[in-house]
Amino acid sequence: MAPVEESWSRIADWLNRSTPATAAQIVAPPTADEVGQAAKVLGRELPEDLVRWWLVAGFSPESVDPLLPWLHVPLTIADALEARRFWLDLHVRMGEAIVAGEAGEPSHAFQSAFLPIAADRSGQYLFVDLRDGPLHGCVAQWDHERSFNDAIHWASVADMLSDIADALAHGVPAMTFHAAGRLRHFAGYPEVPVDTYRARVTESGHLAWAAESF
């Protein structure tokens, strides 16, 4: 697995060459103080790879292109914390558990240890699971209708960035790890789609991801 900084450099270089419209969404990264404040709000130590990504990658709050497959747009730190506050407040009012289980385990409730990092603008979020356990720091999806009942998407932020960098640079599908996990997770449910995603460039110079059956 490549270091975060190397993967991000490969991603940014590809975007600048191939999808200038998407590359325009990248702005100056947040400061170390801003990242540290996020950890204080969470009351938890952030995974090192997430910290390292945030310290090299900044995103405009007006970003719309899905840098992360399939449709997820990276959030600013402020938007990430606001999304967490919204969903956590909603589930606390419903009387559901604030923290339960280990990292990577399905959860009906949105937990205080879930930190959104990207959104599809339709009620789905990629989040880093900060619960304890061997999969601490894994990346999964929160669905506003189905909660977290899917296989994890990546084992870590570093894995996520390395996967995306390889997908862009080599034209290979991204999210094969998730697809394999989904096959196991939904064994016996053939109606559940199992896809990987390949990057494509739109006519207007934007990044998009096309689904492929796994």
Which residues sit opposite 125 in a β-bridge?
Answer: 119, 142
Closest CA to 99 of 110, 84, 90, 89: 110
Does residue 4 surpass a pLDDT of 80?
yes
DSSP 180-203: HHHHHHTTT-TTS--EEEEEEE-T
Q: What total of structural domains would you count in the chain? A: 1
Mean pLDDT of all residues belonging to the chain: 94
At 168 the pLDDT is: 98
Strands (E) across the chain are located at 26-27, 58-59, 73-74, 114-119, 124-129, 139-143, 195-201, 207-213
- Predicted pLDDT at 56: 98
Specify the pLDDT at position 80.
97
pLDDT at 157: 98
pLDDT at res. 188: 81
Which residue range(s) make up the domain with 183?
4-213
Residue 103 three-state SS: coil
- What are 102-134's pLDDT values in tens digits? 999 999 989 999 999 999 988 999 999 999 999
Residue 57, Ramachandran bin (φ over 0: left; ψ between -120 and 50: alpha; else beta):
beta
Is the predicted pLDDT of residue 98 greater than 80, yes or no? Answer: no
> What is the structure's pLDDT at 95?
66
Given a cut of 70, is residue 97 above it in pLDDT?
Answer: no
Q: pTM here?
A: 0.95
User: The domain spanning residue 202 has which CATH number?
Assistant: 3.40.1580.10
Convert the pLDDT of each residue in 36-84 to its tens digit: 999 999 999 999 999 999 999 999 999 999 999 999 999 999 999 999 9
